[in-house]
Structure formats: C-alpha cells, structure tokens
Structure 1
Amino acid sequence: MLDIDRRTFLVGAAAAGALASFPRFAEGASGKAVDLSPVYRKITEQRRQSIERIQRWIQQPSISAQNVGIAECCELTMELLRDAGFGTVKKMKTDGHPGIFATLDAGASQTMGFYLMYDVQPVEENEWSSPPFAARLVDKADIGKVIVGRGAVNEKGPQGAFLAALHAVRAAGLKLPVNLVVVAEGEEELGSPHFSQVVWNEEVMKALATCQGVMMPSAQQSLSGTVNVALGAKGIVYVELEASGKAWGRGPREAEIHSSMAVVVDSPVWRLVQALGTLVSADGTEPMIDGLTDAVRPVSKQQKSLLDALSARWDEADWKSVFKVDRWVNDLDERAMLERYVSRPSVNIDGLYAGYIGEGSKTILPHRAFAKMDIRLVPDMTAKDVLAKLRKHLDKRGYKDIGIKNLGSYDPTDTALDARPVQTQLAVYRAAGLDPVIWPRVAGSWPGYLFTGKPLELPAGHVGLGHGSGAHAKDEYFVVEPAAGKKYLGLDGATRSFVDFLFAL
C-alpha cells in the first residue's frame, strides 16, 4: 500500500491543541450552519465502542496472500458497514477474493466516495511483543495507549475511525451532509489483481461517477504531529523472473546436480544474474530497460514549488536515521533527492532465490533461479506498457527463455492540488491549527489509478488525522490516546477529522 513514513518529520506543527481548535460549526446539506458539538460529544461517549469495533476487525485475521480468514473478514466488513448506516451493502464476486460495494443515501446533493481494504500482510508471530491478532490495548513508551495488531494502521484502525464518525453523526441526531459510496477489496496486499472487476461493474461505475472523488481513510500524522498530504502515488509492476534449464535448453533440466559439473554444464543461475544486469546501469541506480522512461512526464513548475516548500521542512538526517542509510544515490543533496524520489521510476530487486541457502555447505548446480522485482512508475507510464517493454528488452538480448510472471501491477495516480477533496482536507487541517506538508507524489502505490484514470478521472487520495506505524512490520499499532505532550491525535481526534471533512465538503 501507499505509505508516507510516519516517522520522517521532526518539524512539528502547532497540533497540541488541535482537537480543541476544530471548528464547531459547519455548513450542512441545507446550506445552514450546523453545530457539530453534539457529534464531538458522541465521539467521546462512544470511544469504548469505537475501540472494540477496531479490535474486532483486527481480531479477524484476513491474510490475502495465504487465504486466511478472507471470507470471514469480508462478511465482518459488510456487517460493520451496515451498522454504520449503509443501506446497500453488496458482496462483489471477482476471479479472486471478493470485493464490497456499499452506498449510504443521506438525501444530499453531493456524494463522496471512499476506498477501503479488509486484507492484511502475513505475520511472523514470534517477532511480535503482543500477539498480532489479539488487538490488545498497550501502553507504548513515549507514544501513548495504542492498539497493537496486524492491520492496526494498515488500514483497520483509520477505517474504524471513519466508521466511528458515521456512528457519532447518527447518534447526535444529525444527517450526513453528503451521500457516500464505498468500494472495498480483499486483495490490496496482493496488488489488487481483481479489483478492477469491482470498480468496472456497471452499477458501481454509475455510483462512482456521481462522486466528487474517492478517498482512503488514513492516519496521516507523523510522530512530530505534522500531517502529510500527497497529490499522487507511483504505480508499480511487481514481477517474478525465472531462469530454468528446462526453458533455456541448457543446464540441468529437472533437478539440481553436483557442482563439480559446473565446468561442463551451463548454469541457469548465472543466466538470470546476467539478464538482471541488463536492466539497470552498472551501479544499479538507473533503469536501462529499453524505452522505459520515454513516457515520463517532466516535473511541473507547480511541483517544483511544492518540492521547494517540502525541502524547507524536511529533515534529511531523520530519514537517513530511519532507513539506516548514510548517503543517497550519486550523493544527491536533499532537494535533488526529493525531486528524484517523487518523479523518477526505479527498477528494484526485492529478492533472489536459487539452490541451497541453508546453513553449512551443499555443493550443487541449481536447475532454476528466481528474482522478485518491482518497477515503480510515474506519470505517464502504464503498467501494461512497462510489462511489454520488459519482455521486449529481454527478448532482444537473447533471454526469451526467462519467464516473467506478473504478480500485481498498478498505474500511477495523479490528482490536482485544486481538486475539491484536496482543498477540503487542507482547510480542515488548517482549521485545526495544523500546517500540512504537501507532497507532489509519494513512492508507494495503491489502486487509486482505477479512480483517477479513464473513464472516471476522479480526484483520489488519502485523508484523516491520527498516528500509527509498523505497517507490514512487527508490532504494528494505531494510537488511541497520545502520550502527554505529543502533537499527533488519538482515536477521538482521528474520528473528529472525518466528521469535519464530511461536513466541510
């Protein structure tokens, strides 16, 4: 999923009093001022139920890669949507795990779309300090009271805050000022290979076409309290390359053989290594796939201005500390690094496997070798075009036998700064005393291209305050109550940010 690392900013915003400074009045669907104080009181009164709702969601495992609990979590997610007031909630069959389509008709003149996901990453349970599916409340040193569990911040915690906002509005006796359309999937962590079958359904497309945009609930505050807003995300092509003696017609065909034979038998492993070497420059930093960068859109004047402002607030030393690196490629300075980070594609090896990698020695000549790779895309690149160029590049160099398995691909997303959902969330954050950091794009990926691309061409992005961390890692958490002196918001503040976003629309 898309992730702006939530530890990357040391420059804080005046957020300590943010919860208190949220606007109490907003314009409702009728155009009249609406006092939101009763809603805020209900958020506090319903905190226990909101925590339990998130815990219940986390406690239902939903590991898409292993097909663990997916069917059960789909049913639970549909139940949670109905409980939050959605009148239409449908399971959408796909060629993989099912999706969900839901609508809430508030009788409003405007409609807003939201994207949810109910699947999570696999876990290594022995690495966790608290069981990953226990969803325990834990006092985390210097952070506060948090819910620890797989999916806590990615994305069941923020999504739980979004649903809590709907419960609070209804409990306060108010009507939502906008209608809602929700599309959800259970394959985001697989690269959303079948989500298009949900979005491109005729009924779903008709509903989405009425929306101002599609937003994903998120916890966008860093440890410093700074809130990050991204106008786009890179796309991704994730593939597995395979070299084998059987496909090549050289080397061992069916099984590993004694390594003494390497003097007279070709090696599929070296063949894969040599093929990989053609994909990048000698130092591994520049893509060399034929024609890969031809469609890259130049950085605009507005984006350069945003990068200047971002660079002035960005803490380079903190990023290096977080990621445990000493220097950037080509020893770039921080401003040049940021521009490259948001605007250039990359070719990365995620993993290599061949033969024996256990303890001790085993002298063999393997018959197969694998590499998992991701290629990050920027506008105006497309996943389909990149896959074709990768195949053509290898074929041209005599590697027609190298297999390419597409494990998940997204096109990049791009939303204008002046888009209404973006301007609305910026206004909400500023009203709360926050000074958002605007990213032209981040290097993570999500299936937002289905909304920003044709035929819908809608604004899309992430929205929501609060803090959490550990996505895809051990001890993933979402903050319920911040520690004293912290500038990020807890569950109440995150819930309140969704209320204000909806009413500000």
Structure 2
Amino acid sequence: MTISAFQDYLNEHRDRLLADLVEACSIPSVSGQMDACEQMAAWVEARLQRLGASVTRWETEGGPPIIWGVLGEGSASILSYSHYDVQPADPLDLWQSPPFEPSVREGKLYARGVSDDKGDLMARIHAVEMYQALHGTLPLVFKFFVEGEEEVGSPHLAPVAQAHADELKSDGCLWEAGEVDEHGRYTMYLGVKGIQYLELRVRGADTDLHSAYAPMVINPAWRLVQALNTIKAPDDRITIDGFMEHVRPPTPAEEALVERIPFDGQALRSRWGLRSWLNDMDDREALRQFVFAPTCTICGLRSGFIDAGTKTVLPSQAFVKLDFRLVPDLTPELVVELLRAHLDRRGFHDIEIVPLSSLSSSKADPESPFVRKVIAVATEVYGHEPVVYPSHGGSGPMYPLASGLGMDSVTVGVGYTGSNLHAPNENIRLEDYFNNVLFLARLLQSYAGA
C-alpha cells in the first residue's frame, strides 16, 4: 500500500473526519468540571469502541476516568498518550467565535482544545480507522491511554500507570504535542523536564507592626530575600549545595540533535521584546540552556503592603512561589531534600518549605529503534527531516508512562506555532491535521513492517 492510497482516502472522507473532530471539540470538557469531563470520557469510550477497540474505564479516586483502548494484533506494539480535558476558555470576550462551537475560517479550525489535545487524539483515531478501512486488522497492537486531568497536573496518572504497568509496556510511546514551526518544519520532542513547584514561607510577629519596630523585630520579607540570595547567584547559577552535582550531562547523540536545530534567536527575542539573552548568551548557548539546564524560577512573591501609596509597615509574613525545572538525575524529592539541608546550614530553620506539585523528567534515547523509525517516517511523509529536540523546556506527566516503564516517547501532534494553546482563539490548520493523520497511518504501516 502506498502513501497515495492513504491520501486518496483522506480526500474522499475529509468532510466526515472533520465533522468527527468538530463533535469532539463541541464538548466543554474543562479540566475539573466533572460533569463535562464525564460526558467527554463517555464520548471517547464510545468512539474507541466504534473503532473496534477493546475498551476499559480505569476509574480514579475523585477524578475523571482514564479510557483505555486496545486493538490490533502482532508482536509490535505502540502506546498512545493523549487527554480529553481542556483549559478554561476565559477570557471569553477575546474569542472571535464561541470556544465550544467549532468554527472553520481560512483553512483553520477554531475551538478550545482543538490543538491541546483533542486534535492529537482524533488524528490517531482517524489514522487507525483509515488503515483498517484500506488494509484490515492492524498488524501491531495499538494502545490508547486517554486521561482527563492533564491540565491540572495528572494527579492520578502515576498510581494508575503503576497498577497497569504490564498492560502499558510497549515498544514505544507516542506522546501528545509536536507541531509545525514558523518555517513549516515538523517539530518533535524526545522528552520533558521534570518540575518541583513549591512555596517558601516565613512568619514573624502575629500581625503586621509599625515599621518603627524594625530594629527589634524580625522582618520576614528580609529573611526571605536573604535566603533567596543563597539559592541563586547573580550570573543565574543555582547554588543550592549539591544541586548541580546531580545533573546528568547530555550524551553525544543529544548534543548532535541540538546542533542540528535551526534556532532563530533574533526572531524570538524580537517577538518577546528582548535585546539580549540572559548573561548575553549567544543563540546556540541559549538553546542548549533551554534544552539541557535545570532552572529555579521565582514565579511570584508577596509580603506586606504592595498597593498604591505608602504604608510604613513591618510585615508579619512573606512567601515566594518557586518552580524548579528538573533534568536527569534531579528528582522532585531530591530537590526538596537538598533545599531543606541548604537552608538549615545557613540558619534559615524558620523558613518553611511547602511542596505543591511535582513531576519527574523523562527522556528518550535518540538512537533507539522506535525513535529512529518515527523520525524516518516523518521525513518521508513531510518531505524533510523533522526538527528534533532531545527535550522540551517545559514539563508533563510523561515519566510514569515512558521512562518509568523503560519506554522511549516521542511527541507527535497537529499544532503549529500560531495554535494559541491555553489562549483565546485556539486553532489548528486543517492541512496540518490531515498531514498528521497521513503520517500516523504510514507509521503504523512502516513500524509493523507491513
């Protein structure tokens, strides 16, 4: 079977497949809104059953179910991760059309969740459907793992993955995301950084005091600033005792991937209104830091009087929100342990650490057979070698389903740089969508050796 046969099928069934995607995007499955998420879970369950999959609902404690569907036969297997929950659509007044009334304009489909992540999910369903229509039973086992809590940190994913580890294990995992960049190049990622999000809290007097008492009463704001100054140096180095010793250096294969990434730093700086990168780094070093470096970021801090005008006050408390983006071999638990010991050694026993959320990092081997096959098929279908990042600078729940089970994972998605993820007027280009369906169908055919 040639690619042209797949293309002919897509041309013939384009309107029906688009209507299917529109129906999925019409369900307002905002993360945390249980009734709508249950409606979407039932829709996904029924859609996979219609595809011919054996479908099971894996219930979670207090959250929406994970929909698990399996079909095909053979010794090869691929796991597909996606999610059916979406971000809130606020602010509604900035949408050019209602977010849950999908609208096609100028070759683009606008709807909340169309790129993140219902488009990815439906592209995989449509690729399997197309393969089966043209060739019969899938010559490999394809496994759908579709959760409903990605947008709130996937709190139930890890225990479910542990409980079903034997069922989940496959030759590799197709993750959500992946996009076409601003120059028309298909882009994929082989991993994500981990994250430890936490608060540091300091308390002084029971209530705010007149600032006249500053010479004799502890100021929590100053304590917090002094502690923060020990965590990071002016040149942006993380100076927590022992922290950098746990950073695994990139492999030669990962370094080679980064060298091949066509990075237009000047265009990105212009878009963000920046004159230069941090510490006057050149573009290549900035890219390396984005991919390989751990981070410690102040996301927000608060203490005392911060409104307009003046108020001479000695604050009774101060807190800061920090996120640490983690690379192998930094784990969330290790970061909290190192930070606690670091602060205690400097006399900051009074600073409380409150962990809020965490995810472990995950990274695929660029030279694994699964990764090489995905890249080879993308090159064939898209007509150019894809841009491949060893890791994304952001985080996601990839570890429990990929590295944690000894599997490599690759992001494969339908978006593009203008998709407006998490923002008003989220959209995808229909050409990108159908190209991705074609790519996925060819991957199924090629990976199974059919």
Scaled by the length of structure 1, the TM-score of the pair is 0.80
Equivalent pair of 2:209/2:313 in contact (CA under 8 Å): yes
Among candidates 207, 232, 235, match of residue 191 of structure 2: 232
Equivalent pair of 1:78/1:100 in contact (CA under 8 Å): no
Show the counterpart of 1:220.
179
Equivalent pair of 2:263/2:284 in contact (CA under 8 Å): no
- 1:298 and 2:249 aligned: yes
Equivalent pair of 2:194/2:396 in contact (CA under 8 Å): yes
Aligned length: 445
Equivalent pair of 1:153/1:478 in contact (CA under 8 Å): yes
Written as runs of structure 1 = structure 2, the 5 A alignment for 1:404-423 is 404-423=353-372
Query: Partners of 2:161 and 2:296 in 1: how far apart?
Result: 29
Scaled by the length of structure 2, the TM-score of the pair is 0.89
Judging changes above 3 Å, is the alpha-carbon distance between structure 1 residues 368 and 475 closer, same or farther for their aligned structure 2 residues? farther
The two structures, once aligned, show a CA RMSD in angstroms of: 2.7
Written as runs of structure 1 = structure 2, the 5 A alignment for 1:52-451 is 52-64=19-31, 69-94=36-61, 96-126=62-92, 128-130=94-96, 133-139=99-105, 144-172=106-134, 174-201=136-163, 204-209=164-169, 211-243=170-202, 245=203, 250-251=204-205, 253=206, 256=208, 265-283=217-235, 285-310=236-261, 313-355=262-304, 357=306, 365-432=314-381, 433-451=383-401
Judging changes above 3 Å, is the alpha-carbon distance between structure 1 residues 65 and 225 closer, same or farther for their aligned structure 2 residues? same
Deviation string 1:331-364 (CA, Å, 9 cap, x unpaired) is 1122222222222111011222345555566665
Equivalent pair of 1:159/1:218 in contact (CA under 8 Å): no
Query: Partners of 2:122 and 2:409 in 1: how far apart?
Result: 20
Residue identity in the other structure for 1:103: G
- 1:51 and 2:18 aligned: yes
Deviation at 1:217, TM superposition (A): 3.7
Equivalent pair of 1:137/1:145 in contact (CA under 8 Å): no
Equivalent pair of 1:146/1:477 in contact (CA under 8 Å): yes
Judging changes above 3 Å, is the alpha-carbon distance between structure 1 residues 242 and 146 closer, same or farther for their aligned structure 2 residues? farther
Query: Partners of 1:54 and 1:259 in 2: how far apart?
Result: 61
Query: Partners of 1:189 and 1:349 in 2: how far apart?
Result: 21
Deviation string 1:221-267 (CA, Å, 9 cap, x unpaired) is 11321112323221111123333x3xxxx32x2x5556666565433
Show the counterpart of 1:497.
439
Equivalent pair of 1:237/1:406 in contact (CA under 8 Å): yes
Among candidates 424, 427, 436, match of residue 474 of structure 1: 424
Query: Partners of 1:109 and 1:229 in 2: how far apart?
Result: 26
Query: Partners of 1:75 and 1:404 in 2: how far apart?
Result: 40
Query: Partners of 1:178 and 1:317 in 2: how far apart?
Result: 45
- What 5-or-longer segments of structure 2 have no aligned partner? none
Specify the SS of the correspondent of 2:246.
coil
Residue identity in the other structure for 1:298: P
Deviation string 1:451-479 (CA, Å, 9 cap, x unpaired) is 3334x211112124553522223322211
Query: Partners of 1:450 and 1:330 in 2: how far apart?
Result: 35
Equivalent pair of 1:91/1:98 in contact (CA under 8 Å): no
Judging changes above 3 Å, is the alpha-carbon distance between structure 1 residues 367 and 230 closer, same or farther for their aligned structure 2 residues? same
Specify the SS of the correspondent of 1:57.
helix
Judging changes above 3 Å, is the alpha-carbon distance between structure 1 residues 297 and 354 closer, same or farther for their aligned structure 2 residues? same
Query: Partners of 1:129 and 1:212 in 2: how far apart?
Result: 41
Deviation at 1:444, TM superposition (A): 1.5
Deviation string 1:132-152 (CA, Å, 9 cap, x unpaired) is 63243243xxxx422223322
Equivalent pair of 2:201/2:352 in contact (CA under 8 Å): yes
Equivalent pair of 1:86/1:102 in contact (CA under 8 Å): no
Query: Partners of 1:221 and 1:314 in 2: how far apart?
Result: 14
Specify the SS of the correspondent of 1:406.
strand
Query: Partners of 2:437 and 2:41 in 1: how far apart?
Result: 23
Deviation string 1:23-76 (CA, Å, 9 cap, x unpaired) is xx3xxxxxxxxx565543333333333333333333333333676833333333
Query: Partners of 2:196 and 2:98 in 1: how far apart?
Result: 29
Deviation string 1:128-182 (CA, Å, 9 cap, x unpaired) is 233563243243xxxx422223322121122222222223234446222221122
Specify the SS of the correspondent of 1:46.
helix
Segment of structure 1 superposing worse, 70-79 or 316-325: 70-79
Residue identity in the other structure for 2:341: K
Judging changes above 3 Å, is the alpha-carbon distance between structure 1 residues 129 and 353 closer, same or farther for their aligned structure 2 residues? same
Specify the SS of the correspondent of 1:234.
strand
Over the matched positions of the two proteins, sequence identity in percent amounts to 31
Query: Partners of 1:267 and 1:490 in 2: how far apart?
Result: 56
Deviation at 1:330, TM superposition (A): 1.8
Show the counterpart of 1:20.
none
Show the counterpart of 1:32.
none
Equivalent pair of 1:54/1:157 in contact (CA under 8 Å): yes
Deviation at 1:281, TM superposition (A): 0.8
Judging changes above 3 Å, is the alpha-carbon distance between structure 1 residues 262 and 475 closer, same or farther for their aligned structure 2 residues? farther
Deviation at 1:499, TM superposition (A): 0.9
Query: Partners of 2:434 and 2:41 in 1: how far apart?
Result: 26
Query: Partners of 2:49 and 2:305 in 1: how far apart?
Result: 51
Specify the SS of the correspondent of 2:171.
strand
Deviation at 1:200, TM superposition (A): 0.7
Query: Partners of 1:81 and 1:39 in 2: how far apart?
Result: 21
Deviation at 1:196, TM superposition (A): 0.7
Specify the SS of the correspondent of 2:17.
helix
Deviation string 1:365-396 (CA, Å, 9 cap, x unpaired) is 54443322211111222222112112222233
Show the counterpart of 1:484.
none
Query: Partners of 2:356 and 2:31 in 1: how far apart?
Result: 13
Equivalent pair of 1:158/1:219 in contact (CA under 8 Å): no
Residue identity in the other structure for 2:245: D
Judging changes above 3 Å, is the alpha-carbon distance between structure 1 residues 46 and 185 closer, same or farther for their aligned structure 2 residues? same
Deviation at 1:405, TM superposition (A): 2.8
Specify the SS of the correspondent of 1:98.
strand
Equivalent pair of 2:188/2:389 in contact (CA under 8 Å): yes
